[in-house]
């Protein structure tokens, strides 16, 4: 393992994993929010007034992806 750590810059692998894994969750969550919003609107067109609430949930979700992205700047 010492040889591997010397040969490969593990910080870059770590950054890549952080960005990749950190973006998977929030994007799945945003897909669920958007899909459920669209299915609700399709079932009941009057529900389209709740798009503000849908955006609030997207705002709640996206902060976790941004946290993962911001954490990459502290990996040296």
Interacting residue ranges for another protein, rule: CB under 8 A: 52, 55-56, 59-60, 62-63, 66-67, 69-70, 73
The closest of 10, 66, 34, 37 to 1, measured between CA atoms, is 10
- Alpha-carbon span 36 to 10, nearest angstrom: 39
Output 4 or 34, the one with its CB closest to another protein. 34
Task: Supply the minimum distance, in Å, between the C-beta of residue 3 and another protein.
Answer: 28
38 or 63: CB nearest another protein: 63
Joined tokens for residue 18: 């952080």
């Amino acid at each position: 393992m010492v040889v591997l750590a010397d040969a490969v810059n593990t910080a870059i692998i770590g950054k890549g994993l952080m960005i990749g894994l950190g973006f998977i969750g929030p994007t799945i969550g945003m897909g669920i929010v958007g899909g459920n919003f669209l299915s609700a609107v399709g079932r009941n067109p009057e529900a389209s007034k709740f798009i503000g609430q849908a955006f609030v949930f997207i705002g709640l979700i996206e902060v976790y992806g941004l946290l993962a992205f911001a954490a990459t700047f502290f990996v040296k």
